[in-house]
Each structure stands twice: as C-alpha cells, then as structure tokens.
Chain A
C-alpha cells in the first residue's frame, strides 16, 4: 500500500495509466475474441488454435517488416494470416464435420501444438522482438501520463472494425447466411446455404482481426515466443464466454472488462505479490460465469431437446 500513498496527483496519473492500458489490452483481446465467438457460434468449436494463429501473425509481422517496407508488409501479414486460418479450417476441421465434437476439439489442440512447435523450429526458440512501427510506437502524453499511440488508437480501431463487422453480419447476404448457420446448422444446409463457404468466411474474418490484433498487441509487448499466443487466446475465449458466446458486442465488452481487470491486478502494489494471479483471475471469472450465468452477459439461453 505504501506506493499508493504519494499524493493525489500520482493516484490520478496511476488511475489514468491503468485505465488506458486496460482499455488498450482489452481492445486487443476483443479482436481475438471475435474470432472465437464467430467460430463457436457456427461450429460449436473452441478453436484452440486461434491464439496460435495470432502468435504466427506476430511472427509474420517480424519477418515481413524485416524485408519489406511497412506499408507493404502489414497488409501482407493480414493476407498470410487469413490464408493460414483458411487452410487450417479446410485441412483440420472440414474433414471432421460429421465427427463427434470432441474429435474436432482434439484436432484444434493438435493444430495449436503444430503451430507452436513450428514456431519454435523457425525462430530457434528465441524470443523475437517486434519491430518498431512508426507512429504506433511513438509516445504521447495524455493527462500527464506517457503512453504509446497504440494505446490510444486501439479502442477506436476496435470500435470501427466492430461496427463494420456488425454491418456485414446484419446487412449482407453472407452475414445473413452466417446468422442462419449459427441458429441451425442442419436446416441451413437443407435450405441450400453453402455451409463450407460460410465457415470459410468466418475463419477469414476471425484471422484478419487476429492479424490486426497482433500488430497492436505485440507493439506494446517486449517479445514474441512460440507460447505467446496461448494465454491471450484463452483469455479472449473467456471474454467471448463472458459476453455470451456468439455475440460480437458481448465479446468486445467482455474483452474490455477482462483487459481492465487484468491491468488493475498487475498494477497493484508489488509487495502484495498478486501479479501471478493476473492470468488466473480470468479463469476464476470464467468459472463464476459458467456456474451462475452460463449463457454470459448477452448470450441466448439454449433449450435442449430430448
């Protein structure tokens, strides 16, 4: 508690900096969480590999910016990540469409394992430093707190992307098909909706958002290791469950809440020794949610048929 007692000015600064970085981390989780929530909504699959796709996007960012100018390399990161997401779906999930749900989940875990091990092989297991991206990494002074531009930009970028995505889902034909498939997989198939293309679109959107998220996340992060995607991935999934799986606004709000809570825990005085719980907190939240309100904040309660 000692560190807090340094006067009002410091407390204000402290609160602002925690809030700022909390919102920013939350925004980055939100971009990953949308990928989870869309895929779960349609396939009822926890795509364990999604966090690792996010990690690979980070690595792609490192390798591509090293050889190409940034205006070319960043769009290329998105393109390659989308290709990866699409390929994973086609190669590892599509063949198991008729298999039990457990098999698909095991396949997802297998893909996650493969991506992590390949990343270890390619990087030699060394932590890789994310390149400094002009502007994003520049510092800015907000209400007396030094921070990076990326922190300021993230929430706005998230809001723009989410608005765009919501319009896509509510106004376009593809969006309508996505909503139909998530309501009833079998009937949609019978109604002539091309299930496989809808699923591919879902994975493409999810991967593209994860790629954007990776640029924002890793700019503010010291290094990328092959395991760097696992934890943000799981947290983003929890955010999706928290908000109500299948609901995009739910996933975004859930992600912001988790991001802020996590930064608060990390920012607590170091002599409390509670920073080890910043990850565990998320899971505790998950279990509380699942026990008391399994449909999440904005999800619909599903009725079971016998």
Chain B
C-alpha cells in the first residue's frame, strides 16, 4: 500500500495496555486508512478487544498514541509506580507531551462508533428506541426544549432518520418489538444500525459475525461493504470468522499475546507461517 498517499482515519502508535503484571496489548502500531476495511485478528485472548477498548476510551492505555483523522486523540505514558512495574517498550517516548484521556462519549462524538462482542442493546427499549436514543448525542436541543416540546422539528428529523436506518437494515417490521426479543443475527444488525445512528466516520466492529450462520455471515460481508459506500465509512473489525475476514478485508493485522505477529493482504496472511502457527497450529495438532 502506498502509505504516504493514503490518509489514515486511525493511527495507533506504540500502544501498550498493562493490567498489573499482565501486558494485554504490547507496543501495537497500526494504521487504518480512510475508506478501507481493516481487520484485526488473533487467537482468543490475544488482546483484540482490549485494543478496541483503548481506542474507544473504555481503558486508558498505559503508553502510546492514538490519532484520529490526523489529530492526536489519546496519549499516555507510564509514570510513578506504574513506570516502575512497566513491562512494555518506549516508556519515555511520549513523556514530554501532555496526556490526552477522553471519555468514551467524547470519542464517539469525534466520530468513532462501535459494536460489542457480547451484544449490549438497551434491553427495556424497542428496536426503534434503541436507534433513536443513539441520535441523542448530536441532537440540537436542551433539557427544557426537549421536555416542553420546543424541539419538535429536531425530534421529527431524528425519528425519520431512525426509520430510514431501520428500513435499510430490514429491521422496520420489528421496530416496535423489544430489542432483546430479536433473533441473534438481527440483534447484531441492530447494534450496527445503532452505531451508525451516531453518524460515525470510523466504525469498529467487535466480532460482528459471532453466532451467525454461514448464510448470515455472507450477507453481513455484503452489508458491511454497502454501508461503507453509503456512509463513506472506514471499518475496523475484529473477527474470528476467517471466511469473512478474508472476504472483506483490505488489509489484516494479526496479534498474539498482545503483540503484532504479522500484517499484510489477505492472501499474504493466509500463507504466513507465523500466523498459521499461532492461529491454526492448535487445530493441526489435534
């Protein structure tokens, strides 16, 4: 890939996440170019979700820099007691720069939306309300205008956009049902719809095909491509489902035990010795 020519939506540099004496993500450096579909793969417990949690502000990384759309979004370095027990690399690289530690909602506001590995829909709400509530963040209103209905046009806009999103996902017929009453595959779709409702530039999908059957997985691949075109999105996904990853990814990063072991185009990854050893080796030995 011509790295200089392409603008990066997300740039991760030397990110390390250490919990006590355990390094979950070790010195991770990767780029997610705009308008691409990039995958992060690795065996169970490799630190993929932790990496996502660092990007979305759930965790503050112990060290490293994350840039979004060319601007620093998260930055930290180990200090004090943590520095003493620090097991990662590049401990001093960012120590002269100010720490940036936004909360998850601030990151979402910047334009990064996510889905969850273990679906987290709002369980007492209907399908429609789940998507509508995600529009709250960008609504032009305050608590008084909302309560006394001074935001009617804004509310109408939110409802129409929500409905449009649902129709597009084929969820409109379920709109008044409880989100948690949907079949699993549809719940995953609803989570994506909800994430799209926050108007993201970058979409993070945490194992979007988990629990789906082959047919649904195939549809999902098409669907991810469609929404990328339609919303001009960049997609960064974690996935276990090799078929899906190889099918839709433009570029793949592989991590194991928190560290990168390979990166490359799908066909390169497929034949990479290290990856096969880390990833598929277990099943070979059986």
Contact flag (A, B; Cβ within 8 A): yes
* A contact residues vs B (CB 8 Å cutoff): 303, 306
CA distance A95 to B114 in the complex (A): 37
Contact partners of B19 in chain A: CB under 8 A:
303
Q: Which of B130-163 contact A (CB under 8 A)?
A: none
Contact partners of B58 in chain A: CB under 8 A:
306
> Is there a chain A Cβ closer than 8 Å to B53's Cβ?
yes
CA distance A303 to B19 in the complex (A): 10
Contact partners of B53 in chain A: CB under 8 A:
306
* B contact residues vs A (CB 8 Å cutoff): 19, 53, 58-59
The contact sample of 4 A-B pairs, CB cut-off 8 A, is: A303-B19, A306-B53, A306-B58, A306-B59
CA distance A306 to B59 in the complex (A): 9
Expressed in whole angstroms, the minimum distance between the Cβ of A103 and any Cβ of chain B is: 15
Contact partners of A306 in chain B: CB under 8 A:
53, 58-59
CA distance A66 to B59 in the complex (A): 62
Which B-chain residue is minimally distant from A306 (CB atoms)? B58
Expressed in whole angstroms, the minimum distance between the Cβ of B103 and any Cβ of chain A is: 14
Expressed in whole angstroms, the minimum distance between the Cβ of A186 and any Cβ of chain B is: 16
CA distance A303 to B58 in the complex (A): 13
Contact partners of A303 in chain B: CB under 8 A:
19
CA distance A121 to B19 in the complex (A): 55
Expressed in whole angstroms, the minimum distance between the Cβ of B191 and any Cβ of chain A is: 16
Expressed in whole angstroms, the minimum distance between the Cβ of B207 and any Cβ of chain A is: 14
Which B-chain residue is minimally distant from A303 (CB atoms)? B19
Which 4 residue pairs spanning A and B have beta carbons closest together? A306-B58, A306-B53, A303-B19, A306-B59
Expressed in whole angstroms, the minimum distance between the Cβ of A294 and any Cβ of chain B is: 19
Expressed in whole angstroms, the minimum distance between the Cβ of B271 and any Cβ of chain A is: 35
CA distance A306 to B53 in the complex (A): 9
CA distance A303 to B22 in the complex (A): 14
CA distance A306 to B58 in the complex (A): 8
Which A-chain residue is minimally distant from B104 (CB atoms)? A306
CA distance A248 to B15 in the complex (A): 40
CA distance A170 to B58 in the complex (A): 37
Expressed in whole angstroms, the minimum distance between the Cβ of B249 and any Cβ of chain A is: 25
CA distance A303 to B17 in the complex (A): 15
Expressed in whole angstroms, the minimum distance between the Cβ of A255 and any Cβ of chain B is: 31
CA distance A303 to B24 in the complex (A): 15
Expressed in whole angstroms, the minimum distance between the Cβ of B180 and any Cβ of chain A is: 15
Which A-chain residue is minimally distant from B50 (CB atoms)? A306
CA distance A63 to B103 in the complex (A): 59
CA distance A289 to B59 in the complex (A): 25
CA distance A306 to B118 in the complex (A): 10
Which A-chain residue is minimally distant from B59 (CB atoms)? A306
Expressed in whole angstroms, the minimum distance between the Cβ of A124 and any Cβ of chain B is: 46
CA distance A306 to B51 in the complex (A): 13
Which A-chain residue is minimally distant from B117 (CB atoms)? A306
Which A-chain residue is minimally distant from B20 (CB atoms)? A303
CA distance A233 to B268 in the complex (A): 67
Contact partners of B59 in chain A: CB under 8 A:
306
Expressed in whole angstroms, the minimum distance between the Cβ of B121 and any Cβ of chain A is: 16
Which A-chain residue is minimally distant from B53 (CB atoms)? A306
CA distance A5 to B215 in the complex (A): 89
